[in-house]
Amino acid sequence: MINKLHKTTLKILSLALALLLSQAALGMASLDLMKGGYLIPATPFDHNIASAIPFGGSIGTTLQHSESMESLFLKAKSIRYVADEPSNDYWQTPQQTEARWAGDCEDKAIWLFFKLKQNGFSGVRLVIGRLRSVSRGFHVWVTLSTDQNDSYLLDPTSQKRAWKSSELPEGYYHPLYSFDGSNRYRHDG
């Protein structure tokens, strides 16, 4: 009888802990547009991302930032926008984008993500979501959280400058998934 009571109590405690952990993970998604989200094993975009940037792949980095975030953003912004055919959405590697100096939103964002990582920036994420909540299609941009606890949204396709998270226009940028080079995250955007 006591043994059965202990097993039942353990089951109830385990379920309660699992519920608390899942609620905490869901709550994390709304903490911060730049860092939020909860870890997931896969996204619907893994094939696209993996064709451009290998998961867990080594991106050669420098110890210091040889190019500034602003400089890299302006270079990404200068990449000529060329949309893919609707029936053939191809995600280029950073090297392909650099060779063509042309691409669409994900190509520009992947190039910027890669260059930021290559220049030693940590706290960089490639984000897939919607530009506005009413947008039908997906959009891709980059976020950067610095060691000084500043967060930036970098959208070289739609914006003229990097935005601090505190300055973002309301109603824009609804993240669904993000990728930091090793991990994938789900957002409630």
Nearest-angstrom CA–CA distance, 48 and 106: 10
Is the CB of residue 169 less than 8 Å from the CB of residue 33?
no
Round the average pLDDT of the chain to a whole number and report it: 82
Nearest-angstrom CA–CA distance, 144 and 115: 12
Complete domains list, the chain, with CATH: 31-186 (3.10.620.30)
pLDDT tens-digit profile of 96-123?
A: 999 999 999 999 999 999 999 999 998 9
Nearest-angstrom CA–CA distance, 149 and 151: 6
Q: Is the pTM of this model over 0.95?
A: no
Q: What pLDDT is recorded for position 135?
A: 87
Nearest-angstrom CA–CA distance, 162 and 183: 24
Q: What pLDDT is recorded for position 40?
A: 96
